[in-house]
Chains A and B, each alone.
Chain A
Amino acid sequence: MDPYAALIQPFVEFGFMRRALVACLALSVGSGPVGVLLVLRRMSLVGDALSHAVLPGAALGFMVAGLSLVVMSLGGFIAGLVVAILSGLVARVTPQREDASFAAFYLISLALGVLIVSTHGSNIDLMHILFGTILAVDDASLLLVVSIATLTLLALAVIGRGLIVECFDPGFLRAVGGHGAVVHFVFLTLVVMNLVAGFHALGTLMAVGLMMLPAVAARFWAGEVAPLVAASSAIAFASGYAGLLLSYHAALPSGPAIILVAGGVYVVSVVAGPRGGLWARFMPRRHLEA
């Protein structure tokens, strides 16, 4: 097979492959920076918890309006936000840490969501919501995903510096009059929005995959925030592109193929990454000689 037929032709020939590719690009651009900030803020598992928290809202939207893009997205967004607010509230008014309250609320949400879909829909509907279908992304879904990526970029341009300062030195942010709580809430809103975007393509179970795997892999290649964001977005898009091709040529389900490619990049990064990777750590370079 010639390289054009293998690497480019599927996207030229088929509209659904083009839309899936651009959906991956939008997810990479939006979720890349958000994932890096989650890692820097030591909130990697919060992203996972919030992705499951989207489920009952999407399920309620499904119950009310069937597989309606707008209603399911709105429901997922509200449910994710409610879980984020409740978890933050419990962490602030009780001695419990935020990660523990997130774990509790996301489990309740997940069970509630599966219960709603199971009692009001078929197994196929449940599979669609849990695992998504990136190859079935239509124009409306694509517009939603691209709009969310655009909003994320613009919001990060406004609050990015406050977020980064809060990651490394929250005391400094307070000392210079920054509003850490507001910044944190806007950031959690961005996380939920990007998870709603990811949910349409990859389902609630794997929506967080293109957010976290590239971000944690990028940590082995870059040490500063801007290169980290660039590396994370690049890894996410490359994983999306390679995963789509793998799915097309090998007739595999596209969502898991994309996430598995991102997982492969992570494993390679752990082994070969120059910043703390196993190779750099256990195979020291020779000392310079005079």
Chain B
Amino acid sequence: MRRLIGISRAAEETRFGRAVSPLGGGVAAQFIWAVPIAALLWVAAAWAMGWLS
């Protein structure tokens, strides 16, 4: 996964590497904000299309 985003572990351990990681963790941490927002978006879409009523 690190190869995919193009940042090595060594780079991640530098100050800049940590600074660009919003939650300071690995790649999995990036999904902590992305997945719930996407899920909420789908709930909103279901509401708009009348699937919840």
Contact = CB atoms under 8 A, between A and B. Distances in A.
Interface in B37-52: 37-38, 41-42, 44-45, 47-50
A164 B20 contact: yes
From DSSP, what is the main secondary structure of chain B's interface residues? helix
Nearest to A169: B16
A29 B5 contact: no
Contacts of B11: 172, 176-178
A20 B16 CA distance: 40
Q: Which of B4, B5, B48, B50 has the most CB of A within 10 A?
A: B48
Contacts of A265: none
Q: Which of A19, A21, A156, A165 has the most CB of B within 10 A?
A: A165
From DSSP, what is the main secondary structure of chain A's interface residues? helix
A160 B33 CA distance: 12
B21 A161 contact: yes
A262 interface: no
Given A19-B48, A19-B49, A158-B30, A177 B8 contact: yes
Interface residues of A, number: 37
Contacts of A160: 5, 22, 30
Interface stretch (A122-130, A142-150, A189-197, A203-211): A142-150
Given A22-B48, A143-B45, A169-B16, A29 B37 contact: yes
18 contacts: A21-B48, A25-B41, A26-B45, A139-B49, A146-B41, A146-B42, A150-B42, A154-B31, A154-B38, A158-B1, A161-B7, A162-B6, A162-B7, A165-B20, A176-B6, A177-B11, A225-B20, A226-B22
Q: Which 5 A-B pairs have the closest CB atoms?
A: A178-B6, A176-B11, A157-B30, A157-B34, A22-B48
